[in-house]
């Protein structure tokens, strides 16, 4: 295939090059003046991408595919189709499944589904503790060759001694521990941020301390032990500052945040389940601190925490709805619209946050497109405005606080291993 007339994002910025793809790899990147007949004499497809941009395939290190165990919420097939529609060519699948991948046998159940149904690269997490109960550690040595990293996502490891021993065991394996940082003793039955909206509407609040106190604990352990530590879904200003200091002190720590924490705050809440996620939408000052953390490098990557649920589970209002929203199909357009178009971030910086840095930290195939690299990339239309319509999501989960938002940066095409696996307005997915 010969992809012409697009602008390609490279380390030097957007440049007008054409891409030749053969056998799953980029075999050439050409000056646009090259004659098509000189490139192909054997009739290979020529695809014009006028007014579009090409980025390396996006990577999301925090996605809930819900299978095995919760097929009604999402499946590997529906979740990876949705990811492809969002421009992603790789995702890391969180382990809160049934059975959860706390043994090689249980991990194989997930691997079998991935092998059968995944439409992009899917890299599974293994648990830190058996059943994610926070008590008995898994066999890290056996699981490490098959797991992208270790996490008890959805549940913070409450016992500091258990977490410390996990760090010591994982360190020589070279794997990342991705921490869901949440102190259960500080939750107090809350379900939205303990802020202005909770006070005004008499909702039980979740304090920021429930997040940052456990981050503080884990960062102290990380500095002591020296393993690769990653903090999931950072939402509080105190958390950003703690991570900033830990990095300055030499800790091997990275972190992620999600688009909803960067675009919204608790002042945007409504009495609807589509605004309920964990951590919750924090205050205005928290959002501002997160944006500062993006700009100064404290926050390393954008991850969606794509957490689909059934319509019935999300239609119970703020108090009773399940935690979690769908985000894999809206992540890039939201970040492009609110941060690149506004000049807060460069497009190159956004690509680093959504592809380059995740690939480096989790040892995944991904990086700037060049001759010889695997043909994993996404084509975006950044000039045309469109309206987010959750009912058109390919994900089974239709719950998002961004339904109806007008944005730029719709994914027009996704190429994985040299194959077009997603094309806007195509019946072939």
Q: Which residues contact 34 (CB under 8 A, 6 or more apart)?
A: 18
On the CB side of 102, CA atoms within 13 Å amount to: 18
Residue 205, domain extent: 58-361
Active centre residues (catalytic): 305
Write out the two tokens for 278. 């964990």
Q: How many domains does the chain have?
A: 2
**Which pLDDT value is given to residue 226?**
96
108, part of any domain: yes
* Strand pairing category for 419-423 and 253-257: unpaired
| Residue 412 near residue 382, CB atoms below 8 Å | no
Q: What is the rounded CA–CA span in Å between residue 268 and residue 280? A: 12
Q: Are 357 and 382 members of one domain?
A: no
Q: Which residues contact 159 (CB under 8 A, 6 or more apart)?
A: 134, 135
Of 361, 393, 408, the last residue of a domain is: 361
**Which pLDDT value is given to residue 45?**
83
Q: What is the rounded CA–CA span in Å between residue 342 and residue 171? A: 41
Q: Are 313 and 301 members of one domain?
A: yes
Q: Are 277 and 419 members of one domain?
A: no
| Residue 88 near residue 59, CB atoms below 8 Å | yes
Q: Are 254 and 329 members of one domain?
A: yes
Task: Write the CATH number for 417.
Answer: 2.30.40.10
Closest CA to 237 of 294, 293, 187: 293
Task: Write the CATH number for 112.
Answer: 3.20.20.140
User: What's the distance, Cα to Cα, between the start and end of the chain in Å?
Assistant: 18
Phi, psi dihedrals of residue 136, rounded to the nearest 5°: -90, 130
223, part of any domain: yes
Of 308, 337, 361, the last residue of a domain is: 361
Q: Are 29 and 68 members of one domain?
A: no
357, part of any domain: yes
134, part of any domain: yes
**Which pLDDT value is given to residue 42?**
53
Q: Are 216 and 309 members of one domain?
A: yes
176, part of any domain: yes
| CB atoms near residue 151 (< 10 Å) | 27
Q: Are 171 and 260 members of one domain?
A: yes
Q: For residue range 128-140, list pLDDT tens digits in order.
A: 999 999 999 999 9
**Which pLDDT value is given to residue 43?**
58
Q: How far is CA 86 from the centre of its chain?
A: 11
**Which pLDDT value is given to residue 230?**
98
Q: Are 76 and 118 members of one domain?
A: yes
366, part of any domain: no
367, part of any domain: no
Q: Are 419 and 324 members of one domain?
A: no
Q: Are 415 and 307 members of one domain?
A: no
Of 308, 332, 361, the last residue of a domain is: 361
Q: Are 352 and 396 members of one domain?
A: no
> Is the backbone peptide bond immediately before 416 cis, with ω within 30 degrees of 0?
no
211, part of any domain: yes
Q: Which residues contact 146 (CB under 8 A, 6 or more apart)?
A: 104, 107, 111, 124, 126
**Which pLDDT value is given to residue 167?**
98
Q: Are 208 and 135 members of one domain?
A: yes
Mean pLDDT in runs of 10 for the chain (429 residues)? Answer: 91 90 93 55 75 97 98 98 98 98 98 98 98 98 98 94 98 98 94 97 97 98 97 98 97 98 98 98 98 97 98 97 98 98 97 98 94 96 97 98 98 97 72
């Amino acid at each position: 295939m010969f992809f012409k007339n697009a602008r390609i994002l490279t380390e030097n910025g957007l440049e007008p090059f054409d891409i030749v793809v053969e056998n799953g790899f980029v075999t050439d990147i050409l000056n646009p003046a090259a004659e098509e007949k000189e490139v192909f004499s054997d009739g290979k497809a020529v695809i014009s991408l006028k007014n579009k941009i090409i980025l390396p395939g996006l990577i999301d290190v925090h996605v809930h595919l819900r299978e095995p165990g919760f097929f009604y919420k999402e499946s590997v097939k529906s979740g990876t189709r949705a990811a492809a529609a969002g421009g992603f060519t790789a995702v890391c699948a969180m382990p809160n499944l049934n059975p959860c991948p706390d043994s090689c046998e249980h991990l194989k159940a997930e691997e079998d589904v991935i092998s059968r149904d995944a439409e992009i690269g899917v890299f599974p997490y293994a648990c830190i503790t058996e059943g994610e109960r926070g008590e008995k550690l898994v066999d890290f040595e056996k699981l490490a060759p098959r797991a992208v990293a270790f996490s008890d996502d959805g549940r913070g490891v409450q016992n500091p001694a258990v977490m410390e021993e996990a760090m010591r065991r994982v360190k020589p394996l070279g794997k990342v521990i991705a921490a869901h940082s949440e102190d259960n003793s500080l939750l107090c039955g809350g379900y939205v941020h303990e802020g202005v909206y909770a006070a005004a509407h008499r909702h039980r609040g979740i304090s920021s301390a429930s997040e940052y106190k456990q981050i503080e604990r884990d960062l102290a352990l990380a500095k002591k032990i020296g393993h690769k530590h990653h903090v999931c879904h950072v939402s509080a200003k105190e958390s950003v500052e703690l991570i900033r200091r830990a990095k300055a002190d030499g800790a091997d720590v990275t972190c992620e945040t999600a688009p909803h924490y960067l675009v919204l705050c608790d002042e945007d809440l409504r009495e609807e389940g589509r605004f309920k996620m964990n951590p919750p939408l924090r205050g205005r000052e928290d959002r501002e601190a997160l944006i500062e953390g993006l700009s100064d490098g404290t926050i390393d990557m954008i991850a969606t925490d794509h957490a689909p649920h059934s319509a019935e589970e999300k239609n119970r209002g703020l108090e009773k709805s399940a935690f979690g929203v769908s985000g894999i199909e809206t992540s890039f357009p939201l970040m492009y619209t609110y941060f690149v178009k506004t000049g807060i971030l460069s497009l190159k910086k956004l690509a680093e946050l959504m592809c380059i840095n995740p690939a480096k930290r989790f040892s995944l195939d991904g990086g700037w497109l060049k001759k010889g690299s695997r043909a994993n990339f996404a084509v975006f239309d950044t000039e045309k405005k469109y309206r987010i319509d959750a009912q058109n999501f390919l994900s089974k989960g239709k719950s998002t606080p961004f339904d109806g938002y007008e944005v730029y940066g719709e994914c027009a095409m996704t190429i994985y291993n040299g194959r077009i696996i997603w094309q806007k307005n195509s019946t072939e997915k």
